[in-house]
Amino acid sequence: MNIKARKEALRFLFAPVADRLGYKFTPVEEDADFLLEQEAQIEAETGIPYCPCQARTTDRGENMKMVCPCIPFHREHYNAMRRCWCGLFVHKDVTDPGKLRQIPESRI
Ligand code: SF4
């Protein structure tokens, strides 16, 4: 698999999905590029673009909640942070993602 081409394909595929969920790619292009490359690499190894920031388990059902974009499975949590766990996606009205912090789900 050509990782660079797949990274751009994932960007193309994810954009409308995130848009419908009220999110957009982080405006920090360096972060978006790095995270998409990690996902393309994971997809090349596993066949699925799993989240690069969440640990997978042996439970396939639980792992499917970590397929990007995983926003629907963690909506309350991510809405509270105004970003996804990795920060690949932020709420549409976020202009400075550097001010957003990861907050454990247990503290939401
Ligand atoms: S936390 Fe973000 S980057 Fe990771 S799978 Fe979910 S939406 Fe994708």
The overall average pLDDT reported for the chain is 97
Identify the CA nearest to 10 among candidates 38, 46, 29.
Answer: 38
Model confidence over 31-70: pLDDT tens digits? 999 999 999 999 999 999 999 999 999 999 999 999 999 9
How far out from the chain centre does Cα 16 lie? 13
pLDDT number for residue 101 = 95
Model confidence over 9-26: pLDDT tens digits? 999 999 999 999 999 999
Instruction: Annotate 72-103 with b (16+ C-beta within 10 A) or e (fewer).
Output: eebeebbeebbbbbbbbbbbeebeebeeeeee
User: Contacts for 70-76 with beta carbons within 8 Å, 24 or more apart?
Assistant: 71/18, 71/21, 71/23, 72/21, 74/105, 76/108
Ligand 1 pocket by Cβ (under 6 Å): 35, 51, 53, 66, 68-71, 84-86, 88-89
Q: Which of 53, 64, 74, 103 to mutate to test the pocket of ligand 1 (most atoms within 8 A of CB)?
A: 53
CA distances to 24, 73, 107 from 69, rounded to whole Å, are: 11, 9, 22
Which CATH architecture does the domain made up of 3-107 adopt? Answer: Alpha-Beta Complex (3.90)
